[in-house]
Amino acid sequence: MEMFRLDGKRAVVTGGASGIGRATAALFARAGAEVVLVDLSAESADEAAKAIGAESGSKVSAVACDVSDEASVTSAFAEIGGVVDLLVNCAGVAHIGSLQTTSVADFDRLYRVNVRGTFLCMQAAVKMMAERKSGAIVNLASIAATAGLSDRFAYSMTKGAVLAMTLSVAKDCLPLGIRCNCISPARVHTPFVDNFVAKNYAGKEAEMMAVLAASQPIGRMGTPEEIAAMALYLCSDAASFITGSDMPIDGGFKTLR
């Protein structure tokens, strides 16, 4: 862990109360960072912050925020205040549907959270990072950004936008000393997957989990901790030569299928 230590760094993790966001917050705290969890649910964020702080011994706090709302993001980052060295954008929502079956309401909902939310949080963080000419941002994209997936029209649209924003921010922020990268996972076993399978495949959960696992040539879904480990690397000084990159963690999905 020594080369990936984040001692003296302050990290903001959106969507930090569950799934990949919580795993990232926990790993960053263990690596010595002060962590601020940003989540829509104040109660969930507070619970996660207390648990992670107790386990890691690091300072961990929580701020409630609707990342899709400009006023909420402005208020949240004002509350965070001080120095922000690292930002990991994990907040996001998913949707099942093709072009034909996706409603305008669902399209707009995914855009607001996944695209607008990532934009607003990056904008707020970069303003704080620019003062010190230093910082690192990691956005959660997806294999859906660059691979055609069935029934993931709106979700793919948003993750393609996250990838494009990452590249643009990386370019524009070179003079500011701020690095910006993204991670593109395949399927990751999170509470969202469990809830989705239970809701849509009642009585056939095991069969559907096997199907989801088999989508990756490696034969299983990823874990939140594996995605968090890549985020830690990208935010650490060990990755100081990496910016404008999209890092696939996909069990061979794009290259071995």
* Burial bucket for residue 133 (CB in 10 Å: 0-12, 13-18, 19+): exposed
End-to-end CA distance of the chain: 33
Q: Where are the alpha helices (DSSP H) in the chain?
A: 19-30, 42-56, 70-80, 104-110, 117-130, 153-172, 191-200, 205-214, 224-235, 253-256
- Residues with catalytic annotation? 155
C-beta neighbour count of 55 within 10 angstroms: 12
Q: How far is CA 237 from CA 86, 135, 136, 151, 179, in A?
A: 11, 10, 10, 39, 11
How far, in Å, CA of 196 to CA of 180, rounded?
A: 31
The answer to whether 146 and 190 have CB atoms below 8 angstroms apart is: no
